Amino acid sequence: MTIRLLDFAPDAWQAYQRLRTGEIGDRLRQVLEQLADDSAVVRADPRSSRYLTIERELRQASQVWGTPIAGGDGARWLVIWREIAPVIEIGYIGPAPSMP
């Protein structure tokens, strides 16, 4: 197993800095550590899903994934990421869009 580097988009880094000390911080840290350790495990999680719309917009071969994180207060958060070995790019950390 190869540990991957995490590369944050500026807005995602700011969100991580803001959230890491909050109640969601522990769950967020666990997801990020798991991504760095073994992204295949995160992809295989039934809660994770591909974001084909983003992939088409980026026009690149890398798969874009979203991994939800449940907040203790019922809030839903989302981490959007893609792997370009040996880096995991974190493009978004923030509230998950509400589903109709």
- Say if residue 100's pLDDT is above 60: no
Mean pLDDT of 73-77: 83
Q: What CATH number was assigned to the domain covering residues 5-94?
A: 3.30.2310
Mean pLDDT of 28-57: 92
Mean pLDDT of 9-28: 90
Whole-model pTM: value is 0.87
List, in order, residues 6 or more apart from 35 with CB less than 8 Å away.
Answer: 4, 6, 42, 67, 79, 81, 88, 90
Helices and strands (H and E) in the chain: how many: 4, 5
- Say if residue 84's pLDDT is above 60: yes
Mean pLDDT of 34-43: 93
